[in-house]
């Protein structure tokens, strides 16, 4: 049972899963980690992306990842609109803490209902040439169905990291996250910056949705399964750190995989959240937190 081959396969499966978790959490890391917007509806936007991907795949034969990238553009504008409503209704009046949370809860259920009415409650899946196929590197097997989300998740995290650290606009977002007033004194409108950042967060959620439906079937309420996990990844990695989100996601993925492989899958979630609790006790700001 404890062969090197088995160990390597468990490690690789965990890393692949972690890459997927990173993609799911990247947008939340922007909105919650950097902007302090508790977007509890983030998994619903992910699922919305899954359904848009399903539609494009089913009716036009689009590759799921390509569909996700295409729909990310209109999703950005949806995100911009959502943030404007949120800002004008709650943040501007200082009522964002509780009422804002209720707003995003409401949005979560609204998206679910829209999906139910539009697509029905049946399970939806996509087809792509790489789904159901796998390859081997030495003794390690890699399923393309998991490798594609890993790859896209890794690229997404890297692009966001480079955007936030190397571009003027990205650094402005980081500036708003650190000291909104200071940014304002420099002549930059923090609300505009936050609006753009939130829009990017929703766009990444839609891309993550295309990865979710590659891995398995979706139904309109499946987003609820991911609320805990995406917030756990963001908090474990450290609020506001894209590197932290990626590392946190990989840690949770590997922990789940190792637990499933060596101790039984029923312990997987308990171990993942146990790691989160230990991390918060030892380092409350998360692994790469500010």
> Where on the chain is the footprint of other proteins (CB under 8 A)?
1, 3, 6, 9-10, 13-14, 16-17, 20, 112, 116, 119-127, 131-134, 141, 143, 145-146, 215-217, 219-222, 224-225, 229, 256-258, 260-262, 264-266, 268-269
- Residue 134's beta-bridge partner residues? 143
| Closer residue to other proteins in complex, CB, 10/193 | 10
- Nearer to other proteins among residue 175 and residue 228 (C-beta): 228
Give the nearest distance from C-beta 58 to other proteins in angstroms.
Answer: 10
Nearest distance from residue 142's CB to other proteins, in Å?
Answer: 9
Rg (CA), the chain: 19
Q: How far apart are CA 283 and CA 251, in angstroms?
A: 15
CA distance 277 to 107: 29
Q: Tell me, rounded to whole angstroms, the distance of Cα 32 from its chain centroid.
A: 11
Q: How far is the CB of 89 from other proteins (least distance, A)?
A: 27
Given the complex with other proteins, which of 20 and 103 has the nearer CB atom?
20
Q: Smallest distance from the beta carbon of 217 to other proteins, in angstroms?
A: 5
Rounded CA-CA distance 64/50 in Å is: 9
Nearer to other proteins, 169 or 262 (CB): 262
**What angle (nearest 5°) sits at the alpha carbon of residue 237, between those of residues 233 and 243?**
115
Residue 251 makes CB contacts below 8 A (sequence gap 6+) with 18, 236, 275, 287
Q: How far is the CB of 54 from other proteins (least distance, A)?
A: 10
Considering beta carbons, is residue 1 or 181 the nearer one to other proteins?
1
* Cβ neighbours, 10 Å, residue 162: 12
- 3 state SS of 252: helix
């Amino acid at each position: 049972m404890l062969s090197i081959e088995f160990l390597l396969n468990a490690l690789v499966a965990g890393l692949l899963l972690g890459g997927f978790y990173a993609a799911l959490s990247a947008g939340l890391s922007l909105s919650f980690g950097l902007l302090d917007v508790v977007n509890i509806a983030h998994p619903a936007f992910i699922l919305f992306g899954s359904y848009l991907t399903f539609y494009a795949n089913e009716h036009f034969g689009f590759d799921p990842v390509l569909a996700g990238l295409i729909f990310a553009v209109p999703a950005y504008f949806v995100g911009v609109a959502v943030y404007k409503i949120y800002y004008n209704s709650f943040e501007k009046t200082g009522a964002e803490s509780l009422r804002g949370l209720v707003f995003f809860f409401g949005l979560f259920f609204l998206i679910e209902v829209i999906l139910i009415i539009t697509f029905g409650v049946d399970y939806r899946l996509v087809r792509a040439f790489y789904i159901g196929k796998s390859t081997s590197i030495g003794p390690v097997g890699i399923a393309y169905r998991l490798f594609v989300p890993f790859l896209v998740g890794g690229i997404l995290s890297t692009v966001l990291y480079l955007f936030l650290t190397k571009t003027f606009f990205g650094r402005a977002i980081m500036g708003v996250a650190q000291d909104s007033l200071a940014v304002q004194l420099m002549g930059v409108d923090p609300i505009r910056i936050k609006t753009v950042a939130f829009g990017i967060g929703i766009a990444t959620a839609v891309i993550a949705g295309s990865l979710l439906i590659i891995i398995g079937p979706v139904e309109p309420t499946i987003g609820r399964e991911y609320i805990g996990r995406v917030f756990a990844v963001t908090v474990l990695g450290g609020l506001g750190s894209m590197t932290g989100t990626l590392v946190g996601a990989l840690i949770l993925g590997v922990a789940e995989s190792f637990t499933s492989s060596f101790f039984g899958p029923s312990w997987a979630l308990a171990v993942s959240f146990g790691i989160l609790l230990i991390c918060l006790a030892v380092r409350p700001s998360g692994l790469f937190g500010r």
